[in-house]
C-alpha cells in the first residue's frame, strides 16, 4: 500500500504512518475491529511530500483457530485503514482475500 505524506508546516517534522487491517464483516472471529499491520516513520522538510510504502501480507489478516490449532486467514473482504493513530484513520480501502491469498 502506498500513501503520500506532506508536511504542511513551517518546520521539519516526523510522523508515523500507520496501516490497520480489519476483519471481514461476516467473520465470526473474536478479534478487535482493526489491528496494526504496518507502519513507517517519515521525516519531512517544510512543504515536502514523500510517498510512503507500507507492506502488508496475508498474515496481517490471520487469527489463531483454536479448533485447528493453527493460524487461519478467512476468505472475505477486509478493510484497510491508514492514518496517524488508531483514532485518526482518514484513508480507507478494501482488499479481498481468497484461498488465504491476496490478489496479484
| Domain boundaries along the sequence of the chain | 2-97
CATH C-level class of 2-97 = mainly beta
Q: In this structure, are residues 10 and 59 in contact, taking their beta carbons and an 8 Å threshold?
A: no
Whole-number pLDDT of residue 2: 93
Number of Cβ within 10 Å of residue 39's Cβ equals 14
Whole-number pLDDT of residue 104: 57
Whole-number pLDDT of residue 15: 96
Model-level pTM?
0.82
d(CA 48, CA 63) in angstroms, rounded, equals 38
| pLDDT, tens digit (0-9, with 9 covering 90-100), for 13-70 | 999 999 999 876 555 556 677 889 999 999 999 999 999 999 988 888 887 888 888 8
Q: In this structure, are residues 82 and 39 in contact, taking their beta carbons and an 8 Å threshold?
A: no
In Å, how far are 1, 33, 57, 64, 82 from 94, measured between CA atoms?
11, 14, 14, 22, 11
Amino acid at each position: 500500500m502506498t500513501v503520500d505524506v506532506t508536511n504542511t508546516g513551517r518546520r521539519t517534522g516526523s510522523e508515523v504512518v500507520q496501516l490497520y487491517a480489519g476483519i471481514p464483516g461476516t467473520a465470526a472471529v473474536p478479534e478487535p475491529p482493526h489491528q496494526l499491520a504496518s507502519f513507517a516513520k517519515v521525516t519531512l522538510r517544510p512543504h515536502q511530500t514523500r510517498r510512503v510504502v507500507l507492506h502488508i501480507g496475508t498474515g496481517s489478516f490471520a487469527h489463531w483457530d483454536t479448533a485447528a490449532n493453527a493460524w487461519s486467514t478467512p476468505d472475505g473482504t477486509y478493510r484497510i485503514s491508514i492514518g496517524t493513530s488508531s483514532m485518526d484513520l482518514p484513508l480507507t480501502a478494501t482488499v479481498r482475500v481468497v484461498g488465504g491469498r491476496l490478489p496479484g
